[in-house]
Structure 1
Amino acid sequence: MTEVLKPTAEQRDSLHILPLCMLPIETVVLRRASLIKNSRLETALEFFKDKESGSGQLTIKELPDYLQEVDHDALERDIAKLRRLEQMPSFDVYSCRISLRALGIEVNDEEYLKLSDEMLVALSARMQEFTRPLIAQVFGAEIKGGEDASDLIGMLRNPDKEEALRRLNMLAAELQVQVSEIPRFIEDYGDIFLSLAYFRKCLDDVVPVLDNFMPWVKELMETWMIRNDRPKHRLLGNVISDLSDISGSITGRFESFDRKTQDFWSDVSAARFAEVRKLITDHHVTVGGVLCGLTMKMTHWKARFTKENPGGPQARLEFIISEILPGLDRIKRLEQRAAGTR
């Protein structure tokens, strides 16, 4: 009996892991592996990972040499698929929905492209700011909010007050749908803003690390070794400038999402909701790519250097050159292109 493998909660909630068990991969041994992004934003195949053994990785190019006792025709088809997947800038579920569809690659189960229950709980507080105006629209100010989309659907299917029913009819009219279609709108609304809450969490997690990383680099720039080496001083200044620009720009994108959301609730209409939905979904892949890149770099830095062991000038310089610089220009280009579409 064939074992059915499923993505773990950690994998589903990650920006940088794509478990191959969720895709129609023919080579059995590959189904246990994951595509991952490293701190250089290179894509590799990870076959195992634990504290004692570390991470067992291969590049896609190395696969034929290591997997010789398999169906070579099937392996070639899988490698062709992996070559397309490695171009994706992020492996979060929202980027995957868009990118896999664009690549013509199916998913074994659509449930795999949803966040885990654990992440939904973690995002519940963030979702309140999106559910609150919706509840107020139908039930009035006396209901505080905080319910998730499924709770809202139940409430809206069975409004127990005349005022709620009146408001529900008004909302349906504004959205140009039948009252019976409101639950589907709620599901759509909930999923769109769940994605926004997820990406905001990722941004909120990485920004404090970036804020600690910048002074760490500036300390290096003030050392005698770097002050007297203009090319290296300029290089480090460019790293700080690029990271500041990227961080500021992507934060500005989220502010733009907020403004559009507020505009929608100030003047509810089908056209405005379509505009908000398109704005957010059009940015899923680039937001995911930028956050994936920043997160992987800062995670690697945080694991390598600590307050107790901040590293000397040479160790810091080598780390920045080998781990921070590779792929940084790619993140910058991705964010610049996205910023131009706001």
Structure 2
Amino acid sequence: MSDGADTSEAVAEGAGDKPARPQGGGRRRQWEDEARDALHIMPLSAIPLETPGLQHARLIKNVRLQTVVEMFHDVQTGSGQVSPRHLTAYFESYKEEVERDLVKIEKIAAASSFDVYTSRIELRRMNIDVNSVESLTLSDRKKEELTNYMRVFTRPLVEYVYGSEDMQVQDVKDIIGMFSNPNRDEALRNLRMMADRLDIELGEIPQFLEEYGDIFLSLAYFKKCLDDIVPEIQRFLSWMAEIRSSTEVKRDARQMRMLDEISRDLTDISTSITGRFESFDNRSKDFWRDINAETFHSIRELIASHHVTIGGVLCGLAVKMDLWKARFARGGGGPNRRMEFVKSEILPGLSHIKSLEQSARSASA
């Protein structure tokens, strides 16, 4: 994760018209999967662009939640970042192509998150076909990682049809396979009943399951992100609170007030977004208590309508906590160094995260 510095000049001087990429199939696949699964990265290969070489770069959110174009990323050389407005200087041989590409890039750059679900929404608004773009789906590794999260949503489905949860289900494909050829008369009867309640034909059940799986895979993905981030926020708040013991900070009422506000904002944001997920869980339980087309469409629209704000909030929190862990891997740091980090890296953009969460909360009220 970059610390947010704009390195456009350094990149422009050294790299020419061809951005560096990871070498070797394994490293390239790892590079691609990282982008697909991240909240803060979107490969520019997902957008139809004219500029040669630019499709190998990617958009990222830095710690100030600004969007930059990452031309290369390497353990030795770090992250080579270019502000979108500087791309014309970088690709001097393709100025006209870059100008046209910038219209698309700047539109998607305004998104609050680059997770695959938010990216699909934003690209559809630009009339870009997203259905066949592999980089706009989670990697197989991430889907496998989410198996336990998905069981929360697959268990009631299996119980409804088979009357038992003792079925070996890894993902939605397993469910579709089971339901395409149910092995018990009772299961077939339950499937027919489900089709009637959903007002669809029995043969459309696999399509319904695909849609069900997609909706709740997105929820599982965001829930896993939340579960990873919240403990880090708690650790950060404890680390930040230790600054208060500094005599110098105690004497500065303005700094004390800033620490209070940051602590309150991070706590409020975490509490609010956690409450949203609890609401989604309750709505999904309601659906299985009273299966019908209206309740399914309602929960589908509810979850989809929250993709952008959930992605934006989690993305903002993630990039800040990632940088904190990178800068202070072993904790520690003197009061002045900690205070400078809080002021320069945590505070900028925090109000944007807060307003995103408040807007979602108000819309749900």
**TM more than 0.5:** yes
2:182 aligns with 159
1:25 aligns with 49
C-alpha distance in structure 2 between counterparts of 1:204 and 1:211, whole Å: 12
For 1:195-246, what per-residue CA distance to the aligned partner results, in whole angstroms no more than 9, with x for missing partners? 0000000001111110100011111123211111001110111111111111
Check conservation: 1:138, 1:167, Cα contact below 8 A: yes
Deviation of 1:51 (Å)? 1.2
Identity of aligned residues (%): 49
- 2:58 counterpart of 1:34: yes
1:249 aligns with 272
Deviation of 1:65 (Å)? 2.1
Structure 1 stretches (4+) deviating beyond 2 angstroms? 103-112, 142-147
For 1:92-114, what per-residue CA distance to the aligned partner results, in whole angstroms no more than 9, with x for missing partners? 00111111112334449333321
| Other structure's SS at 1:28 match | coil
Check conservation: 1:22, 1:108, Cα contact below 8 A: no
The letter for the 1-side match of 2:245 is E
Unaligned runs of 5+ in 1: none
Q: Which of 213, 216, 222 is residue 199 of structure 1 equivalent to?
A: 222
C-alpha distance in structure 2 between counterparts of 1:151 and 1:144, whole Å: 10
Check conservation: 1:139, 1:163, Cα contact below 8 A: yes
2:21 aligns with none
- 2:327 counterpart of 1:300: no
C-alpha distance in structure 2 between counterparts of 1:140 and 1:82, whole Å: 50
1:79 aligns with 102
Q: Which of 61, 80, 86 is residue 56 of structure 1 equivalent to?
A: 80
1:1-342 equivalences under 5 Å are 8-70=32-94, 72-107=95-130, 109-141=132-164, 143-144=166-167, 146-307=169-330, 309-342=331-364
For 1:144-173, what per-residue CA distance to the aligned partner results, in whole angstroms no more than 9, with x for missing partners? 453411111111111121111111111111
C-alpha distance in structure 2 between counterparts of 1:41 and 1:205, whole Å: 19
Cα 1:334/1:115, change in 2 over 3 Å: same
Check conservation: 2:155, 2:165, Cα contact below 8 A: no
Check conservation: 1:93, 1:113, Cα contact below 8 A: yes
C-alpha distance in structure 1 between counterparts of 2:257 and 2:168, whole Å: 51
C-alpha distance in structure 1 between counterparts of 2:173 and 2:238, whole Å: 44
C-alpha distance in structure 1 between counterparts of 2:81 and 2:354, whole Å: 27
The letter for the 2-side match of 1:311 is G
For 1:34-74, what per-residue CA distance to the aligned partner results, in whole angstroms no more than 9, with x for missing partners? 1100111010011111111011111012222222122x221
The letter for the 1-side match of 2:113 is S
C-alpha distance in structure 1 between counterparts of 2:74 and 2:304, whole Å: 35
Unaligned runs of 5+ in 2: 1-27
C-alpha distance in structure 1 between counterparts of 2:34 and 2:187, whole Å: 40
Cα 1:175/1:106, change in 2 over 3 Å: closer
C-alpha distance in structure 2 between counterparts of 1:167 and 1:197, whole Å: 26
| Other structure's SS at 1:91 match | coil
Aligned residues: 337
Tell me the C-alpha RMSD between the 2 structures: 1.6
C-alpha distance in structure 1 between counterparts of 2:82 and 2:43, whole Å: 15
C-alpha distance in structure 2 between counterparts of 1:311 and 1:20, whole Å: 37
The letter for the 2-side match of 1:46 is E
| Other structure's SS at 2:92 match | coil
Deviation of 1:340 (Å)? 1.1
C-alpha distance in structure 1 between counterparts of 2:102 and 2:194, whole Å: 50
> TM-score scaled to structure 2, two decimals?
0.89
The letter for the 1-side match of 2:333 is G
Cα 1:160/1:272, change in 2 over 3 Å: same
Check conservation: 1:17, 1:36, Cα contact below 8 A: yes
Check conservation: 1:95, 1:285, Cα contact below 8 A: yes
